[in-house]
Amino acid sequence: MNSNTKSIVIRGIGSSVPQQKLTNKDLSKIVDTDDEWITTRTGIKERRIAGKDLQVSELGRAAAQKALDSAGVKAEEIDLIIVATLSSEMISPATSCIIQEKLGCRAVPSFDLNAACSGFLYSLEVGKSMMLNGEYENALVIGVEKLTSYTDYEDRTTCILFGDGAGAAVLSKTDGEGLGILGCKLGADGGNAPLIQIPAGGSARPASIETVEAREHYLRMNGREVFKVAVRGMAQAATDILEKHGIDPSELKCIVPHQANIRIIEAIAKSLQLSDDRMFVNIQKYGNTSAASIPIALDEAKIERNFKKGDPILLVAFGAGLTWAASVIRWYE
Ligand code: UT7
């Protein structure tokens, strides 16, 4: 082994979700829907709601602290913080800076990354590259969302989908190769950007009486079109990254997909010629938590699927942008 070779591993992981639940039955009292439609079309039974007093910096801090505890790393040992989110606490400053202060980290580089539901995997890749090329030994990568702040509870096609939560990973640099994050396939197609948008609140359409009255601060999505592109995009990214690393899908211990729709997850299993039970699913409990979805699922999968050191695991995501990402890792903890 080349003594200069380094790997970036996930040394610890943690998650945090709000206590409050919003069930399908609750939603059926707000919009014209029912448990049967939501369950069969999406797989979702309930989601978590942060409410007005619980902010993303607190959700992210709690998940990050659990990841630090699981890694046995102190907040002062963190050299870099990346927060994947599309529901940042404020437009500025970055939520990562608020979390840095709350955790008691040093004045280390901290920034937010917006790649929507693919954000956590984008952040793993950015973190890995920065660590391999720089002086960073330990990094925090956090996926956190409060999507309910952007959810239109008058639109039954979207309000059934989204929930709040956070997941975090501690990345560490270690000697040797072939450990931890093996590689990542990232992609984006801005030509399909209009398929998922929050039209107002950015610099093009700042908040005004008109934008509020037009409900333009809420997420809008062409679900049917996104569904088709999501299946194709995730299956292709997964196949590409597995081929690149010479891993047959049948060798995977587990696939942890973005939790957007159970039918999308099943379609990916089919395209990889795997049975559905190889896919980790917790969408029934949390709905779609965008950038938080994969780290929350990974945190639960490691226990429920009994991950062991060296197990090959595939993470795959898709979201607004449109963006997609697939990462292959060898479990390290
Ligand atoms: O995380 C970011 C990426 N996002 C995604 O991956 C989301 C991908 N898309 C989806 O998951 C699905 O497209 C949805 C769950 C959003 C919708 O499921 P669908 O099977 O594509 O339904 P649809 O939009 O084709 O609508 C079918 C019918 C429509 O009625 P008509 O026109 O056939 O009479 C809708 O009006 O279902 C109706 N409908 C509902 N009915 C009861 C739509 N939403 C609801 C609802 N309750 N909540």
Specify which residues 83 forms β-bridges with. 112, 142
Cα angle 256, 15, 265 (rounded to 5 degrees) comes to 20
Active site residue 288: yes
Q: Domain boundaries in the chain?
A: 6-178, 181-330
* Averaged pLDDT, 292-305: 98
Q: Looking at domain 6-178, what is its CATH homologous superfamily? A: Thiolase/Chalcone synthase (3.40.47.10)
To the nearest whole number, what is the mean pLDDT of the chain? 96
C-alpha closest to that of 271 among 216, 232, 220? 232
Q: Output the pLDDT for position 176.
A: 84
What is the pLDDT, as a whole number, of residue 178?
85
153 CA distance to ligand 1 centroid (A)?
Answer: 15
| pLDDT number for residue 1 | 47
What span, in angstroms and rounded, lies between the C-alpha atoms of 328 and 330? 7
pLDDT over 70 at 108, yes or no:
yes
Can you give the pTM of this predicted structure? 0.97
Q: For residue range 224-262, list pLDDT tens digits in order.
A: 999 999 999 999 999 999 999 999 999 999 999 999 999
For the chain, give the percent of residues with pLDDT over 90: 97
Arithmetic mean of pLDDT, 82-96: 97
Q: Is the CB of 156 under 6 A from ligand 1?
A: yes
CA 225 – CA 129 distance, rounded (Å):
33
Q: Is 217 marked active-site? A: no
Q: Which atom of ligand 1 is nearest to the CA of 34?
A: 47
pLDDT of residue 14: 98
| DSSP character string of 91-124 | SSS-HHHHHHHHHT--S--EEEE--GGGHHHHHH
Pocket test for ligand 1, best of 224, 231, 316 (most atoms within 8 A of CB): 224
Across 3-7, 102-106, 317-321, least confident range? 3-7
User: Is 306 a catalytic site residue?
Assistant: no
Closest atom, ligand 1, to C-alpha of 263: 11
Which class does domain 181-330 fall in? alpha beta
The pLDDT tens digits for 34-71 are 999 999 999 999 999 999 999 999 999 999 999 999 99
Q: Tens of pLDDT along 123-144?
A: 999 999 999 999 999 999 999 9
Q: Is the dihedral of CA 27, 28, 29, 30 positive or negative?
A: positive
Ligand 1 pocket, 261 CB below 6 A? yes
- Ligand 1 center to 7 CA (angstroms): 42
Per annotation, catalytic residue among 97, 105, 117, 254: 117
Query: Identical fold at 6-178 and 181-330?
Result: yes
The CB of 153 under 6 Å from ligand 1? The reply is no
327 vs 324: CA distance, rounded Å: 10
Ligand 1 binding pocket includes 278 (Cβ within 6 Å) = no
Cβ contact 164:214 at 8 Å: no
Q: What is the pLDDT of residues 185-233, one digit of tens each?
A: 999 999 999 999 999 999 999 999 999 999 999 999 999 999 999 999 9
Q: Judge contact between 147 and 166, C-beta under 8 A.
A: no
d(CA 193, CA 59): 28
Number of the ligand 1 atom closest to the C-alpha atom of 117: 1
Q: How far apart are CA 218 and CA 157, in angstroms?
A: 12
Task: Check whether 324 has a pLDDT greater than 80.
Answer: yes
CA 223 to ligand 1 centroid distance, Å: 6
Lowest mean pLDDT among 19-28, 61-70, 97-106, 177-186: 177-186
Kindly tell me if the per-residue pLDDT of 3 is higher than 70.
no
Calculate how far, in angstroms, residue 218's C-alpha sits from the geometric centre of ligand 1: 17
